[in-house]
């Protein structure tokens, strides 16, 4: 996207959005072409072999299952594990709703555990206390491209003989980290807004060979996604890709935003996969076209691309005012899939940024916090030796920090495509917005803050 804004021109509006489609026209066209190509069984076996090879680095030899999406693999895993009804699954308390729906679909109980906003690690002290005689598994999600510390989770799981489900849907970073080999299953997503997207697709790595083979056998009974189903998605994504990334469309969208027409919610609703009948829609094998795209895109993975994303995000971060809280800055590893910040009044913050030409957004993901299921219904019986401990109250179990994060999160339009001088400009805008919000805290109104931002912009 070049030529849309000139350097050094005061504070021009920035035609960048909080989510990107990490792809190119030629990849989209390649995907469309694959839908019309004839793929023999031996071609299909070749794509699967290629994916197996890519996903089996020496650091993690666990077998690989390429599939339609993460939800397909998670559902398969739960089918095969067949945990007793009413068993408890401890989940880090932010995820997409479908992941907890899947747990519930298998008649299991979701037990959310709160997380730290700085590290995005689960609260391990709380997690330890949430383990009961009915706990069977722990599901941890690495959110926003931040990779959390798995050691304490794995140690706790080992101590109580629990299954570990590592949800890496948001943290694909190439093949040097393909999840912890000690996790029972690790899940990676290649949906439309993920890094290295193949416009769908997922990869699971399963530790136990027997479980893997059973999953594979069940998977083979699923109907195969038709090429036309995949093509329908591609045809939907081509205009979206253009709107987000191909000049002059982002500038046109930005102009319409200035005139009060904001298409973001409409665009984002287009990005959602399987809006209804989730279970029915995920029980498919991927089409050969999708497998061929996954194999091609993933074979072309370039770590330098990820490095650019990280460097730009770190650069932006280093220019931000300390008063602006960025999520996950203290996590062990950060691939900056998105750039979430937490503010006191998210709508006002967004309105002030918009007044200064920056398009931040609240609804960039489907992530939500997980409410405890039946908060007043006690968890399973305590573990032997812990009977004397006072049971956790619903208050103690409630994931307040996750609720706070989700209700106040704003996604900044920061990614590898934004030039450095615009990152600087956006950081300056953030400083001004924070100051103007500070200014109204005592005596001013929200409108005054927005008007102040508009005035500052017009005088630059």
Ligand X SMILES: Cc1ncc(COP(=O)(O)O)c(C=O)c1O
Question: What's the rounded Cα separation, in Å, for the pair 57 and 162?
Answer: 26
Segment near ligand X (CB under 6 A), from 68-76, 293-301, 382-390, 416-424? Answer: 68-76
* Conformation bin of residue 336: beta by default, left when phi > 0, alpha when psi is -120 to 50: left
Contacting residue, 19, 28, 65, 69, with ligand X by CB under 6 A: 69
d(CA 107, CA 105): 5
Instruction: Choose between 114 and 167: whose C-beta lies nearer to ligand X.
Output: 167
Interface characters, 338-377, with ligand X (x: CB under 6 A): ----------------------------x-----------
Please list every residue from 378 through 397 that binds ligand X, using CB under 6 A: none
Minimum Å gap between C-beta 272 and ligand X is 9
Least CB distance from residue 69 to ligand X, whole Å? 3
Q: Which of 169, 306, 317, 410 binds ligand X (CB under 6 A)?
A: 169
Residue 70 touching ligand X (CB under 6 A): yes
Minimum distance between the CB of residue 73 and ligand X, rounded to whole angstroms?
8
Size of the site for ligand X (CB under 6 A): 15
CA angle 13, 343, 400 (to 5 degrees): 145
CA dihedral for 12, 17, 22, 27, sign (positive or negative):
negative
Tokens 């630059």 belong to which residue? 460
Stretch that binds ligand X, among 148-156, 165-173, 218-226, 255-263 (CB under 6 A): 165-173
Q: Is the distance from CB of 46 to CB of 299 less than 8 angstroms?
A: no
Q: How far, in Å, are 42, 77, 131, 237, 252 from residue 248 at the CA level?
A: 43, 45, 54, 17, 6
Q: What is the DSSP letter of 122?
A: B
C-alpha to C-alpha distances, 325 to 16, 123, 339, nearest whole angstrom: 21, 19, 11
Among 95, 183, 287, 334, binds ligand X (CB under 6 A): 95
By CB under 6 A, residue 96 contacts ligand X: yes
168 vs 179: CA distance, rounded Å: 7
Burial class from Cβ neighbours inside 10 Å (0-12, 13-18, 19+) for residue 101 reads: middle
The only residue of 15, 60, 71, 150 in contact with ligand X, by rule CB under 6 A: 71
Shorter beta-carbon distance to ligand X: residue 249 or 270: 270
Identify the bridge partners of residue 109 per DSSP, sorted by sequence position: 88
Is residue 225 close enough to count as binding ligand X by CB under 6 A?
no
Quote the least distance from Cβ 53 to ligand X, whole Å.
21
Binding span for ligand X by CB under 6 A among 30-38, 64-72, 85-93, 444-452:
64-72
110 binds ligand X (CB under 6 A): no
Residue range at the interface with ligand X (CB under 6 A); choices 66-74, 307-315, 408-416, 437-445: 66-74
CA dihedral (285, 207, 111, 192) positive or negative: negative
Length of the chain: 460
Q: Least distance (Å) from ligand X to the CB of residue 47?
A: 18
* Contacts with ligand X, residue ranges (CB under 6 A): 69-71, 95-96, 99, 141, 167, 169-170, 189, 191, 202, 273, 366
């Amino acid at each position: 996207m070049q030529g849309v804004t000139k350097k050094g021109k005061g504070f021009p509006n920035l035609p960048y959005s909080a989510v990107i489609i990490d792809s190119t026209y030629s990849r989209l066209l390649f995907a469309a072409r694959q839908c019309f190509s004839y793929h023999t069984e031996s071609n299909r076996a070749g794509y699967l072999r290629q994916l197996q090879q890519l996903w089996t680095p020496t650091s993690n030899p666990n077998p690989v299952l390429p599939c339609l999406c993460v939800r397909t693999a998670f559902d398969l895993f739960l089918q095969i594990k067949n945990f007793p009804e009413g068993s408890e699954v401890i989940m880090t308390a932010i995820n997409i709703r479908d992941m907890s729906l899947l747990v519930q679909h298998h008649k299991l109980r979701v037990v959310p555990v709160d997380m730290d906003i700085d590290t995005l690690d689960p609260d391990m002290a709380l997690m330890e206390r949430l383990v009961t005689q009915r706990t069977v598994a722990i599901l941890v999600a690495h959110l926003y491209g931040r990779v959390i510390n798995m050691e304490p989770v794995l140690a706790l799981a080992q101590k109580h003989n629990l299954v570990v489900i590592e949800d890496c849907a948001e943290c694909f970073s190439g093949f040097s980290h393909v999840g912890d080999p000690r996790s029972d299953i690790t899940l990676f997503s290649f949906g439309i807004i993920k890094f290295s997207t193949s416009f769908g697709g997922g990869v699971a790595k399963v530790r136990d060979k027997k479980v893997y083979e059973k999953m594979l056998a069940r998977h083979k009974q699923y109907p195969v996604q038709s090429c036309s189903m995949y093509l329908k998605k591609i045809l939907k994504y081509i205009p979206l890709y253009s709107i987000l990334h191909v000049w002059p469309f982002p500038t046109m969208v930005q102009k319409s935003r200035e005139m009060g027409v904001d298409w973001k919610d409409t665009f984002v609703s287009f990005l959602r996969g399987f809006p209804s009948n989730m279970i029915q829609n995920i029980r498919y094998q991927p089409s050969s076209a999708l497998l061929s795209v996954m194999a091609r895109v993933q074979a072309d993975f370039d770590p330098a691309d990820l490095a650019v994303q990280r460097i730009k995000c770190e650069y932006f971060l280093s220019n931000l005012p300390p008063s602006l809280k960025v999520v996950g800055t203290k996590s062990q590893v950060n691939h900056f899939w998105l750039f979430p910040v937490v503010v006191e009044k998210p709508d006002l913050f967004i309105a002030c940024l918009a007044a200064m030409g920056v398009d931040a957004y609240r609804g960039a993901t489907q992530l939500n916090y997980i409410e405890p299921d039946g908060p007043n219904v006690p968890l399973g019986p305590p573990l032997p030796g812990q009977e004397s401990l006072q049971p956790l109250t619903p208050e103690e179990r409630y994931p307040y920090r996750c609720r706070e994060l989700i209700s106040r999160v704003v996604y900044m339009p920061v990614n590898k495509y934004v030039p450095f001088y615009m990152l600087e400009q956006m950081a300056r805008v953030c400083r001004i917005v924070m100051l103007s919000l500070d200014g109204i805290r005592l005596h001013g109104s929200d409108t005054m803050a927005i008007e102040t931002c508009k005035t500052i912009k017009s005088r630059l």
